[in-house]
Structure 1
Amino acid sequence: MNAVLRHWNNFTLRLAQAPYWPLALLARFSLAALFWRSGQTKISGFAVDPLDGTWQWGWPQLSDSTIYLFAEEYRLPLLAPEPAALLAALMEHLLALMLLLGIGSRIAAIGLLVMTAIIQLFVYPDAYPTHGLWAVALLALIVRGPGLVSVDHWLAHRFKS
């Protein structure tokens, strides 16, 4: 039994020494794809999704269904439906892009965490298992940063004093 525990302990010690950057890159890519795609559902006239090959260049505008959802289903407090929908669509695109590139990553992750909290509290309160997973990944990026494969990392080392 001691040999099994010793091997297990050695295994977990090696896991603890694994590099962080692949996890951070996977978290950034996954969260960026999730929020980008969510933002894409809110607009028409502009669609970019390299994962499924969608490329439609044009001037983005809020879709009628988005305004309807914000007015009738989401009903956020303190914000009228159209500005709330516009803000959500804009932030989902901008913050997802920042997260993907790793530029202003912590700011982007904080913004997406706030959006996740708003969605959890006011829109889909029963979806806490999903939102909890998003929050954990976002919190890891906030606490540990975007990792080696990021503009933030390059800038930090470029301008290190």
Structure 2
Amino acid sequence: MANITFKGGAVTLLGNEVKVGEKAPEFTVLANDLSPVSLADSKGSVRLISVVPSLDTGVCDAQTRRFNEEAANLDNVKILTVSVDLPFAQKRWCGANGIDNVQTLSDHRDLSFGEAYGVAIQELRLLARAIFVVDSNDVVTYVEYVSEATDHPNYEAALEAAKATK
């Protein structure tokens, strides 16, 4: 498993670490209207999955804004932002911040995504910061588990991986 800290303290991640070349694990999360969303719902597209602890924090806010801005430059790439924020809070945050190029998804109900991708923080019931790129055939082509959950991911590497993935 990836070694992750949160504000300098070690945390326990639930689930299995995902690696490049593996089939992307299936998951079920909730859209802003409470409808279920799975990986299969976006099959045929490249997916850049941006995982954040909470949209209401500075780094998560900046990360989601950055990918929202970059979405216009990515052909056939869907950007999914996953957190454990309630769907209502995600919808409110997106509306207040003009976020309309990424799909925010909530894993609050059962940590399906968090456990499938090895990012559920046991001690906090939050998700660790991570980026995954999944190709149109559901194969993982890029993985970044950010070692300190309050740090930014490598945006450029993630974006280049998404652009290079078919």
- Aligning the two structures, in what range does the TM-score lie when normalised by the shorter sequence? under 0.3
Report the TM-score when normalising by structure 1: 0.26
- Over alpha carbons, which structure has the higher Rg? 1
